[in-house]
Structure 1
Amino acid sequence: MPAPSPAPMSAPFKTRERLTEVRYEIRGELARRARELEAQGRTLIKLNIGNPGAFGFRAPEHLQRAIAERIHDTDPYTHQQGLPAAREVIAAHHIARGARDVSAERVFVGNGVSELIDIALRALLNPGDEVLVPSPDYPLWSAATILNDGRPVFYQCKETDGFLPDPDALEALVSPRTRAIVLINPNNPTGAVYPRALLERIVAIAARHGLLLLCDEIYDGITFDGAAFEPIAPIAGDVPCVSFGGLSKVHRACGWRVGWAVLSGDEARSRDFRNAMDLLGALRLCANVPGQFAIEAALTGTDTISALCAPGGRLHEARRAVVEACEASAYLRLVAPAGALYAFPGIAEADAQGFDDHAFALELMESEGVLVVPGNSFNVPYRNHFRVTLLPEPAQLREVFARIERVLERQIGDARKVVPLATRRARTA
């Protein structure tokens, strides 16, 4: 009997169409090219990700001990919302900060904040619903909105306003399909820290329009030079609010994948949403168990982040190195970050026209061995910014900005010789 004919060559599998709308250059094309260069033997300084462990930071010892002492209890699944004792500690922490109507039953522990953002948006959105997202944004927020069949509507946080939003402009974007307002405070990528008066106005918008507040506060303990972090839940009061936090940044334990989401405000209004999050959490069984045993130590133990952010501390001095390098640059400007782990430098206005942040980032990596994230990756309407992390040693950051200056001299300095400064300024006036 003759063998059957081989099946005809099939077309490639189709992927989800909405993925074409997703932007995540932080781990995208440039990062893939970086891996190719490293495979060729190149050594790169990778400033594209806020990953403390990659720069020599360690999770505090008392957190490590807390896990080691309970490792024999980590084999079984736990409750889908997280270890009960850990949720009690998280609830108590938020109550002590002034949040209303918080209990362990309204706390969800996840595999990092990233998973919880996805769960929260999946619990909230119907196809075509809108979410107000800051621009610049951490692009996971817009991506998760898109992939849960929603539509991100970007409210601008302008550099001229210190990357803080204009509440009136934000409210003008509210439509009958708007379901939530996303806040990232302290902000990634800009380092902006939102003042209380601004948060009060945004809460008032949410109250007037019946919107859920989704507040990414993963950098809540990382502020500089007297900037004060204000948690939004106490300001929100009865307005339903989800506050996201975790161990990744303040406690330098990214790889443990421990985050939490705390639902506060009027219970009756948010009961169905809470139950939907519980259902979605159950479908993935539970979050990483070992890391959850560090939560109590993190929230009730020794403060290990403040010294790093104070003058003389490593993060403070790294920030100082970036600020001083931008001040000394012939091409850069910077709104000094007040918090978080990043800076978002821009090209000086007279040279910004025609600047291509992606081409700059590619040349910087290829010629100078430094990987940064182009500003357009953060859903902004301009192409003249880039993001760096503040995690390297200050001396290494000074070297990085010397390399950046060399690339800018090649890309912009030559153009200056051709087009006089007065002409370029007139073009941007």
Structure 2
Amino acid sequence: MAMIRYRATCLGLVLSLLVGCGGSEQPAPAPTPSPSEKPEPQVESSTSTAPAKATSADASGGAAQAAVAFNPGMTAMFKPTVPEVVKTDENPVTPEKIALGRMLYYENRISLGQQISCNTCHALDKYGIDPREKNATSEGHDGQFGGRNSPTVYNAAGHIAQFWDGRAADVEEQAQGPVLNPVEMAMPDPEYVIKVLKTIPGYVEAFKKAFPGEADPITYDNYGKAVGAFERKLTTPGKWDQFVNGDMGALSDAEKQGLSTFISTGCITCHMGTYLGGQMYQKVGLIQPWPDQKDQGRFEVTKNEADKMMFKVPSLRNIAKTAPYFHDGSVKDLGKAVRMMAKHQLGKELSDADVDSIVTFLNALTGQIPVDYIAKPDLPASGPDTPGPQSKVTRAAAQKDSDS
């Protein structure tokens, strides 16, 4: 009965926030849904409909928000806690797939220049982000830079979809994208990736173990399944999960007050559930235009006008460790990011005290990296026919020679 009362309290709080933010307005045209394949249902809503607009209680003065007393029932909005593995019927996780996926995650021979692996842009010992980022986005093949910030890979398997624009349904599909992206790993086609893997004897054996009974187990889909299986256990439980599960002493009083400020400000509209985000799309610059915004977001995938400047709402887990922030990596300071989100997404000017309070709470969302699980394995040795590093020019020339 206590949990029912907690959930009712939370629901009432969310509804009051929405009503206070103009929840009676007519909804905008519905954005395009995510790819049909999705992770198991989570607490969060998977709709991409924009939350109601907000106005500042004191837009000019930046006064502190009206305090909302901490209530243990607030934790109901963030259940269930992060699982050990994000399961899917489409790709059952096995030790053999994980072992293969771990090797492939660190494998740079499946990039054309053989200098880039998944771990290059999503370093597992750095909370899954690119520690090299100096220009807001990651450097790829031949010194090219992508247009979007590399999001963390941790806990991503539980999201509604993958990439900032949601163009991949799951981590299995996502794993196949960067390898063929000419700006990232630049492999020319799936066939060439498979050709490389088949020339490495250790991978021939590893694929047989991971996909037993298949006549030709080294396929591009199986590459994605192996990496996806490995990533499905890249979760980071921490003291926040202990707190949500009932250990009220896991967070300090300042962190609890930060949670209250987070909720009363309206951040909870998009950042709730297991991952505090990752379950919906939202327009960048919902209330006030986002500065220097050129990226059209999900519109570039769907061509639906309602998807212009819509991006997947990021998870806030480990947010204190995953700068730079936003789809363009334009902000490195977490406090500045909080202030910008309040202004452009909620129409609120936050006081320094409120920003500091929210940042204190966000720091409590840092989880534990699975150090043993992510340890880099010994990669199998190349075979006599394994290609060496190539540029676009030499690869094109080699293809021409083989075709003649």
Note whether the superposition's TM-score is higher than 0.5. no
User: Hey, which of these two has a bigger chunk of strand by percent?
Assistant: 1
Structure with more relative contact order (C-alpha pairs < 8 Å, separation 6 or more): 2
Task: Name the TM-score class by shorter chain.
Answer: under 0.3
User: Hey, which of these two has a bigger chunk of helix by percent?
Assistant: 1
